[in-house]
Amino acid sequence: MSLTNTIHFRNLRGDLFGGLTAAIVSLPLALAFGVASGAGPVAGLYGAVCIGFLPPCLAVRQR
C-alpha cells in the first residue's frame, strides 16, 4: 500500500483549513458534551480525540 499516491500537495491548503475548521467547531461541542454528561470537560476532550483519531486508524480502504 503506497501512501504517496494519495497525498497531493496542491490539496494541502484546503485540507489544513478543513481540519482547522473542524477542530474549532468540535472543541466547544466536546466540552459541552462532557459537562452535560456530568463527566467533566476533560472527558469531553478525551472523547473528541478518540472520535477524531480512531476511525482513520481503523478505516478500510476500498479499491
Write down the pTM of the prediction: 0.62
DSSP string, the chain: --STTT--GGGHHHHHHHHHHHHHHHHHHHHHHHHHHTS-HHHHHHHHHHHHHHHHHH-----
Q: In this predicted model, which residue has the larger pLDDT, 9 or 2? A: 9
Is pLDDT above 70 for 37? yes
Taking all residues of the chain, what is their mean pLDDT, rounded to a whole number? 81
What pLDDT is recorded for position 6?
65
Is pLDDT above 90 for 41? yes
User: What are the pLDDT digits (tens) for 13-30?
Assistant: 888 888 889 888 889 999
